[in-house]
Structure 1
Amino acid sequence: MKIAIARQKYTPFGGAERFVEHALAGLRAQSVEVTVIAREWTGDAAGILQCNPFYLGRTWRDVGFAHGVQQIIAAGRFDLVQSHERIPGCHVFRAGDGVHATWLELRDQARGGIARFLTGRSPWHTYTKDAEAAMFRHPDLRAVICNSNMVRDDIARRFGVAADKLHVVHNGVDLDYFHPGLRDEHRRRVRAELGIAADAPLILFVGSGFERKGVPGLLRALAAMERKDAQLVVVGKDRDQKLAEKIAQTLGVDARVRFLGGQQDVRPYYGAADMFCLPTLYDPMPNAALEAFACGLPVVTSTTCGAAELIEEGKNGFVCNALDAAALARHMTMLADDGNRRLAAGMGEAARRSVEHLDLTTMAQAITDLYRRLLGLQP
């Protein structure tokens, strides 16, 4: 049996790649041959089939790679081809980024004005939406791996994909690496390094792509909080970070916000924080939210985030509209209130429990079982 995984830029440290790698180990033990189809990759070239047609611009880039993969599928070299790109004709698609059409709608709604008109004029967005629709409606599609119920339901509603093709496998989280003990290990030191008082409420945001992840709304909510000593730490990269810093300055909260950029190890910041906030415009299942849960942090997120389905309102976190800064401020104020310390501590314990079933072994077994069924292998 031969499986191929299509990913334009493959790195063994990427979230999607880690997701698959855990599962493929079990298949290799059954003599299943695994090949990665990639335009470029990091690390050893063993097991890589390069597909790197010439291109100019990202539309041509994606069209060329998709055509190359389609030719490989047509040649019949593999029994099963799973794609992490939107390629019509693939046998399995992992919808790790959710539905592109849904993301564009939510983004345009947040931007307002002529955003929808400009999106419609983008060749890349037009191609991506068309390829997405063609892929989901292609007769050769055998399975879609969704990382949240939100994404599964959206695909079924928007594209009419049969329920038996839609499989929810939540992302796994390393429960030994991310744990509540990080608080004792890092809280005092990190706060001292950042100049944050030991008793000041500390809100943590982790994510790259500030517009999509909701940083502007989070800054507005911080400004609206009753606790004016609350601090915000933003961990993540964004090419428009200067714009976010300007928003913080305009709102008068710049002295209470630390933009730390990307960090190789985010665990110390989970340990230093009192809560995790991700008011994302659209996020199928953010690993950062799972990590925060695992570290025992109450999570405040949006209705358009897959992690919302793990939240029991008021027990391990809160959910609100991504654009409702007032509601976000109320939730953060409640968690920051000194009178609610016991409640917040209980929510932290509940947060940890809410992801204890999402360990990496369970995730790997679920995806391995799916591959075996598709390949007709014995359990």
Structure 2
Amino acid sequence: MSPAAPQRLRIAVLNRIFDSTGGGAERYSIALVEQLALHHDVHVFAQQINHHAPGVSYHRVSMPMRKPRWLNQLWYAFATWRATRTGFDIVHSHENTWHGQVQTVHVVPVRHNLFHGRTGARRLLRWIKVVSSPRLLTYLGLERLRFQPEKTRRIVVTSDNLGLTMAATYPGSRAMTTVITPGVTLPALPNQEDRLAARIALGLPPARFCLLFVGNDYRKKGLVNLLEVLATLPEQVVLAVVGNPAHIPEFRRRAESLGVVARVFFLGALQDVAPAYRAADALVHPTLEDTFAMVVLEAMAHSLPVVVSSATYCGISGLLSHGVNALLLDDPRSAQELGAALRLISGDEGLRRAFGRQGRLFASHYRWEDIARQQEAVYLSSLAASKAEARTLKRPA
């Protein structure tokens, strides 16, 4: 961590679900907490906790109502505000809350989704929808308070793409915003024995070409198109799907209708995705919307070649080079384009090895310990602004 830290900070981290199976935002928060706890006093406030790390204090926030979700979000914001008003140097929120000097944004703002590109009557209709919906009013109200300009507030976004969207949606956030991408811990590279052991443990065929898909929202991450394309690929190619088990029945039926159900292995949510990366031959991520896509970075750290949507759809792709360290899809909805990329990657071992080497090199520049230093610098910036504001208030009129 940065030697400039003046003290061991007492940090409150707000994340409703503190479980690595929750998704990329949760894994981002967990990895940062693990790094920060090596040098600071870190307290996690969450409603669901499935994690333990030395030096981290966990505080379970009550959940008097699971649904409606908007009411639970409002309760969580109030409960954590009450619990962290005093006693902390920094309150760092990964949630839609009105409080916290540091706000990390993982998703496109609600306001952008509702109003971007809509003018005239279409915009008016959206406002009518908003004012008649307690859910939307709550989310928009919390979001507006969350991004309200304050001298001590700092906003962290996970990609340049998301930073541009934030600036366009909430122009007052520009001066407060910093990009801090997700990171990785570089694993030891697996040999053939490791790969075979991982496949056996996961119930995957040992000798076939295995594509890997990782994502909790199967539809938004592009599994619909991927299953259709799988039906056009050689029988030797199989697909392992990691993610939310609630979607499995629907997509298993879709695989059956396409005649590929015997070639699709639904693994559900894995507490540790590393065995799936070790078992696979390539990651395919034809996402329709991702502010970054940690799974791509993690796969590259494991030297897996990746096929991923272009920067229009996926934040990490703005940092990648097509044909050098990844295959980028201009249109992830195009079965023709996705099929061509998968045929290329599955049929050319030399290309896979080259992408694996370049991907590993790319990932080595995004280690979690370096990401944590960037996060700490944001904390110190907020604290410096707070001290400067305090000095101003003490000056005589």
Q: Same fold (TM over 0.5)?
A: yes
Is 1:251 the counterpart of 2:294? The answer is: no
Is 1:305 the counterpart of 2:314? The answer is: yes
Report the secondary structure of 1:240's partner residue. helix
Summarize the alignment of residues 142-221 of structure 1 with structure 2, pairs less than 5 Å apart. 142-176=153-187, 179=188, 181-190=189-198, 194=203, 196=205, 198=207, 200-221=208-229
Residues 300 and 331, structure 1, Cα contact 8 Å, conserved in 2: yes
Residues 38 and 51, structure 1, Cα contact 8 Å, conserved in 2: yes
Give the structure 2 partner of residue 362 of structure 1.
370
Summarize the alignment of residues 340-359 of structure 1 with structure 2, pairs less than 5 Å apart. 340-359=348-367
Aligned residue identity for 2:216: S
Give the structure 2 partner of residue 86 of structure 1.
96
> Aligned equivalents of 2:138 and 2:319: distance in 1?
33
Aligned residue identity for 2:150: P
> Aligned equivalents of 1:182 and 1:348: distance in 2?
12
Residues 287 and 309, structure 2, Cα contact 8 Å, conserved in 1: yes
Is 1:316 the counterpart of 2:317? The answer is: no
Report the secondary structure of 1:171's partner residue. coil
Residues 206 and 236, structure 1, Cα contact 8 Å, conserved in 2: yes
Residues 279 and 302, structure 1, Cα contact 8 Å, conserved in 2: yes
Residues 212 and 283, structure 2, Cα contact 8 Å, conserved in 1: yes
> Aligned equivalents of 1:90 and 1:104: distance in 2?
25
The alignment covers a number of residue pairs equal to 356
> Aligned equivalents of 2:145 and 2:182: distance in 1?
26
| 5+ long unaligned stretches in structure 1 | 107-115
- CA shift, 1:162, in A, is 4.1
- CA shift, 1:330, in A, is 1.4
Q: 1:305 to 1:101 in 2, by over 3 A?
A: farther
> Aligned equivalents of 1:356 and 1:81: distance in 2?
29
> Aligned equivalents of 2:137 and 2:182: distance in 1?
29
> Aligned equivalents of 1:104 and 1:330: distance in 2?
35
Is 1:233 the counterpart of 2:243? The answer is: no
> Aligned equivalents of 2:149 and 2:181: distance in 1?
24
Residues 90 and 140, structure 1, Cα contact 8 Å, conserved in 2: no
Residues 155 and 161, structure 1, Cα contact 8 Å, conserved in 2: no
> Aligned equivalents of 1:243 and 1:141: distance in 2?
47
Give the structure 2 partner of residue 15 of structure 1.
27
Q: 1:123 to 1:314 in 2, by over 3 A?
A: farther
Aligned CA-pair RMSD: 3.4
> Aligned equivalents of 1:243 and 1:257: distance in 2?
13
> Aligned equivalents of 2:351 and 2:265: distance in 1?
27
Report the secondary structure of 2:213's partner residue. strand
Report the secondary structure of 1:203's partner residue. strand
Relative to the length of structure 2, the TM-score reads 0.77
Give the structure 1 partner of residue 346 of structure 2.
336
- CA shift, 1:313, in A, is 0.3
Give the structure 2 partner of residue 109 of structure 1.
none
- CA shift, 1:2, in A, is 4.6
Deviations 1:198-252 (A, max 9, x none): 3x43211122221232211211222244x34321111222312111011111122
> Aligned equivalents of 2:164 and 2:295: distance in 1?
22
- CA shift, 1:8, in A, is 3.0
Give the structure 2 partner of residue 263 of structure 1.
270
| 5+ long unaligned stretches in structure 2 | 1-8, 117-125, 386-397
Report the secondary structure of 1:308's partner residue. helix
Give the structure 2 partner of residue 64 of structure 1.
75
Aligned residue identity for 2:357: E
Aligned residue identity for 2:100: C
> Aligned equivalents of 1:76 and 1:354: distance in 2?
41
Instruction: Among all aligned residue pairs of Structure 1 and Structure 2, give the percentage whose two residues are the same amino acid.
Output: 26
Residues 166 and 173, structure 2, Cα contact 8 Å, conserved in 1: no
> Aligned equivalents of 1:80 and 1:325: distance in 2?
47
> Aligned equivalents of 1:76 and 1:359: distance in 2?
32
> Aligned equivalents of 1:326 and 1:207: distance in 2?
22
Residues 183 and 272, structure 1, Cα contact 8 Å, conserved in 2: no
Most deviating of 122-131 and 308-317: 122-131
Residues 152 and 166, structure 1, Cα contact 8 Å, conserved in 2: yes
Report the secondary structure of 2:363's partner residue. coil
Q: 1:186 to 1:129 in 2, by over 3 A?
A: farther
- CA shift, 1:292, in A, is 0.6
> Aligned equivalents of 2:30 and 2:20: distance in 1?
6
Q: 1:126 to 1:328 in 2, by over 3 A?
A: farther
Residues 23 and 367, structure 1, Cα contact 8 Å, conserved in 2: no
- CA shift, 1:102, in A, is 5.3
Give the structure 1 partner of residue 388 of structure 2.
none
Relative to the length of structure 1, the TM-score reads 0.81
Report the secondary structure of 2:265's partner residue. strand
Summarize the alignment of residues 110-149 of structure 1 with structure 2, pairs less than 5 Å apart. 123-139=134-150, 142-149=153-160
Deviations 1:292-347 (A, max 9, x none): 1011111112232222123210112122233223211111111112xx32122111
- CA shift, 1:71, in A, is 4.8
